Amino acid sequence: MTAAPVLLQGNEAVAEGAIAAGARFFAGYPITPSTEIAETLARRLPEVGGKFIQMEDEIASIAAVCGASLAGTKSLTATSGPGFSLMQEMIGFASMAQIPCVIVDVMRGGPSTGLPTEPSQGDVMQARWGTHGEHSVIALVPSSVLECYTLTIEAFNLSEQYRTPVIILSDALVGHMREAVVLPEPGELRVAERGTPDCEPEDYDTVMSDLDNILPRPPLGSPFRVHVTGLVYNRRSGAPDTEAPEIASDLGRYLREKIYHHRDAIVRVEEMEMADAEVAIFAYGSVARSARAVVKWARAQGAKVGLVRPITLWPFPTAAVEHMAAQVHTVIVPEMNIKQMSWEVQAAVGGRAKVVDYGRVDGKLITPAEIKELVKREFYYHDWRDS
Amino acid sequence: MADAMKPKGPMEIRFSGSGGQGILLAAAIIAEGATAQGKQVVSTQSYGPAARGGASKAEVIVSDEEIDYPEVDAPMINLCLSQAAYGKYAADTRPGGLLLYDSGLVEPDDTVAGCELCGLPFTQAALERLGKKVVANIVAVGALVEVSGVLPADAVEQAVVNRVPERFRELNSEAFRLGRRLAAEARDGTQS
């Protein structure tokens, strides 16, 4: 029997997804438009034996999340642009020390205090490159309330599997939106548990992760001897070593490749009406909803328009974009920033198709009417009965 | 309400007013009532940085089919609880739609044409008959349901009860029924 639909807000769905994924620790500092995630978890976590703590700021919040994860508890924090900026240093620490954790950034207009209550997609590049140094990251973009739930579970799974921070790029529209949803039953979605290395604690120094066998991180306090540092370290012993370039190179390349080597397994893209498309819309998050309406409108009038919607924004879905570029003559990239992902699309398209960027930074969702105008320009002789 | 109010396809409703008037709650109640009816429902909201006094807007789309674009550009039902909201949004009402406003707070003008206008004193009635101005939003929800027939009244009243703390349930139920009565009286030309 299917459960009855419930009316759920995007932010509430993130919180429920975190609980379902087994997260039992949240540290954060309230900020619009993410606050409902903290509010919901403040109530829900104690009910399932978890801990909620409101920290003095966002830097302390992500630090507490790293600490809790090192102690063996799946952990998350939630914030918006200004707080996400403050968290960047510790996100780098989590990358370097390979600490699984989830950071939810409910994007609002920026920079600085910006448009606190209005949606934006201005943090998509910050999610990739906000912390310094060579690193890789995984970022997921929900475009519905149901995805706020399912992608939060997936974010935890990926963070455990690849021992990395995973960022959920929601926005003020998706986060505050309410939808009637039927949540999956417990057990319906896979939940990756934190494992322990498949060896005796005294042999731990002799085993080392490689790209095809990323060992789980043993919790602090277990019989395994664990070294945690932000310095460059020897991947076998975990001890800091900044004297040997080959050690630094091995670690630097490993931190990048442990994600990129697996991107076929990590990256998820939803395609709609792409089989014979001549024009593709590349849209993510809340904007993808407007794009979907436009594809239906165009198809109803015989215009071959399709949608490529990245669910995983980082690592970038290069293969899907290359495939699209070989087929369509134009790719339209509407986004609530100015050209941030369209540059990335252009790089992957590599001149094989025209890339049309369209940006809005006024805190308003790009409408179907705006995208329709862009589509019409690409069909010179089409008879548009319904505008 | 005329059959035009029940078109095929999605029903789009907008609620607007000032922060503190309970605009977001009013929308959430309609959305919850529609969810209980097994409909596809999407509701979005928009408000300024100020908790009170700033502009506040919420929208609900109720449909039998998947809802893509989540916002409402031309509402079939347009509820305005402040003069500022009326000035900003009244003209967006879809031709043939319903423009509902608080007649004690809004002075209608002639910029709006092609839709049904219905002004009722939600706030004044809440204050005078229930002693609580704060439930004016629920009075408005009751009137909206009565005038438009968009959802069964008992489903929405249940959503009202579900959404408010237990000690305020009776008050809010009364507010909902008061709104329905105001609308019915205006429609039938009677006065209680």
CB contact under 8 A, A117 and B68: no
Q: Which domain-ending residue is among A222, A238, A263? A: A263
Per-residue pLDDT, B8: 64
CA distance B186 to chain A (A): 32
- Alpha-carbon span B34 to B32, nearest angstrom: 5
- Whether residue A12 sits in one domain with residue A125: yes
Per-residue pLDDT, B36: 95
CB contact under 8 A, A180 and B71: no
- Whether residue A157 sits in one domain with residue A13: yes
Count of domains observed in chain B: 1
Q: Which residues of A touch B67 (CB under 8 A)?
A: 179
Per DSSP, A240 falls in state B
For chain A, the residues whose C-beta falls within 8 A of a C-beta of chain B are: 5-7, 32, 116-118, 173, 176-180, 286, 289-290, 292-293, 296, 365, 367-369
Tally the C-alpha atoms within 13 A of residue B59's C-alpha that lie toward its C-beta. Answer: 19
- Whether residue A145 sits in one domain with residue A62: yes
Q: Crossing angle of helices A58-70/A81-96, nearest 10°? A: 30
A18-57 pLDDT tens trace: 999 999 999 999 999 999 999 999 999 999 999 999 999 9
| B43 contacts chain A (CB < 8 A) | yes
Q: Does residue A189 lie in a domain region?
A: no
Count of domains observed in chain A: 3
Q: What is the mean pLDDT of residues A321-346?
A: 98
- Whether residue A155 sits in one domain with residue A27: yes
CA distance A144 to chain B (A): 10
Q: Which domain-ending residue is among A263, A282, A302? A: A263
CA distance A12 to chain B (A): 14
A147-156 pLDDT tens trace: 999 999 999 9
Low-confidence ranges of chain B (pLDDT < 50): 1-4
Determine if residue A236 is left, alpha or beta; phi over 0 gives left, psi from -120 to 50 gives alpha, anything else beta: alpha
Rg (CA), chain A: 21
Q: What is the mean pLDDT of residues A1-19?
A: 92
CATH of residue A335's domain is 3.40.50.920
Q: Using the predicted structure, report yes or no on whether residue A385 has a pLDDT greater than 50.
A: yes
Q: Does residue B158 lie in a domain region?
A: yes
Q: Which domain holds residue B172?
A: 10-188
- Whether residue A129 sits in one domain with residue A31: yes
CB contact under 8 A, A178 and B38: no
Are B139 and B122 in contact by the 8 Å Cβ rule? The answer is yes
Q: Does residue B86 lie in a domain region?
A: yes
Q: What is the mean pLDDT of residues A323-347?
A: 98
- Alpha-carbon span A348 to A338, nearest angstrom: 18
CA distance B71 to chain A (A): 8
Amino acid identity, position B63:
S
Task: Give me the total of CB pairs closer than 8 Å, taking one residue from chain A and one from chain B.
Answer: 59
Q: Does residue A92 lie in a domain region?
A: yes
Q: Does residue A195 lie in a domain region?
A: no
A120-167 pLDDT tens trace: 999 999 999 999 999 999 999 999 999 999 999 999 999 999 999 999
Q: Does residue A386 lie in a domain region?
A: no
Per-residue pLDDT, B61: 98
Least CB-CB distance to B31: which of A7, A173, A290?
A7
CB contact under 8 A, A5 and B48: no
Q: Token digits for B28?
A: 């959430």
CB contact under 8 A, B28 and A289: no
Q: Does residue B36 lie in a domain region?
A: yes
Q: Which domain holds residue A325?
A: 271-376
For B:44-83, CB contacts with A below 8 A are: 44-49, 67-71, 73
Per-residue pLDDT, A163: 96
- Whether residue A214 sits in one domain with residue A99: no
Q: What is the mean pLDDT of residues A180-208?
A: 90
CATH of residue A119's domain is 3.40.50.970
Can you tell me the ipTM of this complex?
Answer: 0.93
Per-residue pLDDT, B115: 93
- Whether residue A340 sits in one domain with residue A230: no
Among A197-206, A377-386, B61-70, name the one with the lowest average pLDDT: A197-206
Best A2, A6, A7 member to test B by mutation, with max B CBs in 10 Å, is A7
- Whether residue A317 sits in one domain with residue A295: yes
CB contact under 8 A, A293 and B69: yes
Hey, which bits of A2-156 come out as E strands? 6-9, 25-28, 51-54, 75-79, 101-109, 115-119, 138-140
Q: Which domain-ending residue is among A214, A236, A263? A: A263
CB contact under 8 A, B43 and A177: yes
Per-residue pLDDT, B48: 81
Q: What phi and psi, each to the nearest 5 degrees, are found at residue A341?
A: -85, -20
CB contact under 8 A, B49 and A296: no
Q: Which residues of B touch A367 (CB under 8 A)?
A: 69, 71, 73
| Residue-by-residue DSSP string for B133-170 | GGGHHHHHHHHHHHHH--S-HHHHHHHHHHHS-GGGHH
Q: Does residue B132 lie in a domain region?
A: yes
CATH of residue B123's domain is 3.40.920.10
Per-residue pLDDT, A99: 97
Q: Does residue A193 lie in a domain region?
A: no
- Whether residue A238 sits in one domain with residue A108: no
Q: Does residue A119 lie in a domain region?
A: yes
Strands A101-109 and A75-79 come out as parallel
- Alpha-carbon span A32 to B20, nearest angstrom: 17
Q: Does residue A196 lie in a domain region?
A: no
Q: Which residues have CB under 8 Å from A90's CB, separation 6+?
A: A59, A62, A63, A66
- Whether residue A165 sits in one domain with residue A18: yes
- Whether residue A278 sits in one domain with residue A256: no
CB contact under 8 A, B73 and A367: yes
Q: Does residue B2 lie in a domain region?
A: no
Average pLDDT, chain A: 96
Q: Does residue B1 lie in a domain region?
A: no
Q: Does residue A48 lie in a domain region?
A: yes
- Whether residue A40 sits in one domain with residue A100: yes
Least CB-CB distance to B48: which of A117, A286, A368?
A117
The CA angle A359-A363-A367, to the nearest 5 degrees, is 60
